[in-house]
Chains A and B, each alone.
Chain A
Amino acid sequence: MSAKDRPITSSLVNIAMWVERRLHLVKIWKATAGHPIPKSSASWFYTFGSMTLLCFTIQILTGILLALVYVPSANEAYRSLLFLNYQQELGWFLRAMHYWGSNCMVVIVFFHMTQVFLWGAYKHPRELTWISGVVLLFLTLALSFTGQVMRFDSDAYWGIGIGAAISGRIPIIGAQVVNLLLGGPIIGSDTLSRFFALHVFVLPGAVIALVSLHLRLVLLKGINEYPTPGIQVHKGTYWRNYEEMLHKDGMPFVPNGIGKDLVANGVLLLVMVALAVFVGPKGPEIPADPAQVISEAKPDYPFLWLLSAAALLPNGSEVILFFVVPLIAVILLIGLPFFSNVGEKHYSRRPVSILVVMLTYLTIGLLTYAGITGPWSPRMEAWSGTPTKPQFITGRSPVELQGALLLQGKQCRNCHSVGGEGGQRGPDLSAVGARMNQPQLIRQVIQGGGNMPAYGNTLTPQEVNALVSYLVSLRPINTIPALNPAIPEKAERVSSGEPTKGAKTGG
């Protein structure tokens, strides 16, 4: 079976050797894929990096395919998405893969960072690896952000609006930056072209450059060994110990160390395909139209927490949210390897790190959850379209039925649900009669309060009467209406204020 017996094989080997002598592929292979890693590093926890790379590769591939159809102009963008969704064979799948790939990438970059943080991999001598990673995180977010603008529907507007708002706050040059981003004072075709250029040229280019740097650093400075509690990093000795460990207890990444990465990436790919197949692409929603303000627009998952933070924080704190907080985050993230450069690596010896991670996940998680279930905007069609469950209709007197109609007609249900159906901006009213008494309800309707408008000027006394008698009837069966004021402070104001005359008229 030697090469001499088989002329064809031997000439193939000759060609291969000829190429090898010129490109030194074996050497490159040994220095990259075959580089030695500590045995302990072949851990499931160490697979997030390669998973991120898989996401990025998928984004590049699907992105190129999408770019074959997508037309980055205000008039055509929306139509090209419809074409992909409904006409192009598997076009929807392509969009879905790109959309879920992007969401997965953000999540996994985040996991990757968490792991690197908890396992102390950012410490000496891998500071620059960490910093390039932080930049990659922001580039990933920027890609996701500009990506949702590509849909150029009502949701995209949210992104552009926030983008403009953030950059508008930059001192001195704010207005110019906005102009640069939007390509003019308002959102239009030029805006889309600019975000397109960012999304498909500038940002991916930057990511590729930084990934190269990141990987180069990984090769140069080695994969972090799996930390052992109690073992300290000392600047003087770390590298010597690490090399010794590689020598004694190392193995080539390929083929020995890559198994878990392959499995993890396989699973991730399956998850992405499943999401694409079962959930599908997002949108496009209502086409972007500067003349129409759509209050129901929502950003993609990675930015939902921003939306809810913006809605929860008091008015005027946007400067802090969109400018001060990110600035502090950048400083902290980039500064991290310098604040804690040596010492313990293992998270069990770094309780503060666990606390930081838990707080971050809790905050972002809760805000995202709030954003998903998010009642931040009224539901504009609830008043005419949302039915009322039978238990809130039967047994009501004619005047209470009129009250139910007023609750629809006066658009209360755009903000209030009854029986869980309707807007979520204000409290659910299913049992409001059990917690507020008649004077309190009258006051609430007439004077509003909190985020509720006052209706005193738009309702006649009879309407207030009907509305309030319906609200009083909204309570669990066999309970009496609230008699004692549930909230003493409110009741006091009611009794001292002047109850409306009209509300007392009638039966």
Chain B
Amino acid sequence: MQARTLYSILLFGGLGFLCGCDRLPGKPKEEDRWKPPSEIKDFALLFNTNCRGCHSNGQTLSASISMNNPPYLAVVPKEVMHKTIETGIPGTQMPTYSDKAGGSLTEEQVNILVEGIYNWAKGHEAPTDNLPPYSAALGDAERGKAVFAQACASCHGSGGEGTKGKGGAVDKAYLSLVSDQYLRTVVIVGRPELGMPGFREYVPGKPMTGEEISDVVSWLASRREGPAPGQSAKTAEIAPKTQPSTPNE
């Protein structure tokens, strides 16, 4: 009895080690090792801890646009992405990340993020013909209304109030929380993962032009009450809304 116990201890213990100490599950792994946040150089880790809550990495859905998104990456210039991450977008939930401005990421880490995000599009590049410019001044709201009726109303309702199953795109609280650039981005690349196509597909066979996009964004922006996020003093946003809202039709 005693001898057997002893043997089995030796046997199991010995076996455990023979299995190769490198593969034992209890052995601490290099990636579990704590590193100061500024030393994290791994793109996936950086993205998953800093961005994934709001921007999908392609594996989940997210409330804001996905970053693993070749059509988006085809249109957004690298410098803009870099700057957006560093400074954030004032007045919206997009935070400031540059450590020089009180954020948590170093310049190098922002570079790793930008490179990593663009790498997602490698080999899946979206077509670049007829590509509208990423950013542009607002267009003509009246014309934009017509564009909306043609391109967007089927899903968002003729006045943008929303249809069954699709949300209103001119909800005033919504518009006061998003920047004009974001509206433009969404019109260009859509939210394919949620069922909104991009600029090529609103009207079959006829990609939306840069001008039309400016116009429709301009119309959306004109439906906003008060300033766009980050545009002017916060008091204007918080002040009770007394003026009648802009007439609908």
Which A residues fall within an 8 A CB radius of B?
82, 85-86, 89-90, 92-93, 96, 153, 258-259, 262-263, 266, 269-270, 273, 275-281, 284-287, 381-390, 393-402, 404-406, 408-410, 413, 460-463, 465-466, 469, 501-502, 505-507
Contact = CB atoms under 8 A, between A and B. Distances in A.
B9 A269 contact: yes
Contacts of B169: 398
Given A262-B1, A280-B24, 7 more contacts: A85-B28, A92-B27, A280-B25, A381-B49, A401-B63, A462-B237, A507-B162
B26 A279 contact: yes
Nearest to A90: B21
A139 B227 CA distance: 67
A177 to B, nearest CB: 32
Given A262-B1, A387-B56, A395-B165, A278 B25 contact: yes
B33 to A, nearest CB: 7
Interface string B126-140: 000000000000000
B24 A463 contact: no
Contacts of B194: 393-394
Nearest to B242: A501
Given A286-B34, A409-B95, A507-B168, A281 B26 contact: yes
Contacts of B13: 273
Which of B1, B5, B162, B173 has the most A CB atoms < 10 Å from its CB? B173
B30 A86 contact: yes
A263 B52 contact: no
Nearest to A267: B5
Given A406-B93, A408-B54, A387 B62 contact: yes
B51 interface: yes
B52 A277 contact: no
Interface in B32-84: 33-34, 48-54, 56, 60-64
Given A408-B54, A505-B173, A396 B167 contact: yes
Nearest to B59: A387
Contacts of B165: 395
Interface in B167-212: 167-174, 176-178, 194
Given A263-B1, A393-B61, A501-B241, A462 B172 contact: yes
B174 A402 contact: yes
B172 A506 contact: yes
A206 to B, nearest CB: 30
Given A287-B34, A384-B49, A384-B51, A96 B63 contact: no
A263 B4 CA distance: 9
Majority DSSP secondary structure for residues of B touching A: loop
B8 interface: yes
Contacts of A398: 167-169, 171, 174
A400 B60 contact: no
B240 interface: yes
22 contacts: A92-B27, A262-B5, A278-B24, A278-B26, A384-B50, A384-B52, A385-B48, A390-B61, A397-B162, A397-B167, A397-B168, A399-B167, A406-B177, A408-B93, A409-B95, A460-B238, A461-B237, A502-B240, A505-B173, A505-B225, A506-B171, A507-B172
A276 B26 contact: yes
Contacts of A397: 162, 166-168, 171, 174
A96 B24 CA distance: 12
A463 B172 CA distance: 11
A410 B238 CA distance: 17
Contacts of A409: 54, 93, 95
Which of A90, A96, A266 has the most B CB atoms < 10 Å from its CB? A266
Nearest to A82: B33
Nearest to B2: A262
B100 interface: no
Nearest to A264: B5
Given A387-B53, A399-B174, A507-B172, A270 B9 contact: yes
A120 B171 CA distance: 74
B12 A507 contact: no
Given A285-B34, A384-B54, A387-B52, A266 B9 contact: yes
Interface in B1-18: 1-2, 5-6, 8-9, 12-13, 16
Contacts of A96: 26
A377 B225 CA distance: 39
A466 B50 contact: no
A112 to B, nearest CB: 20
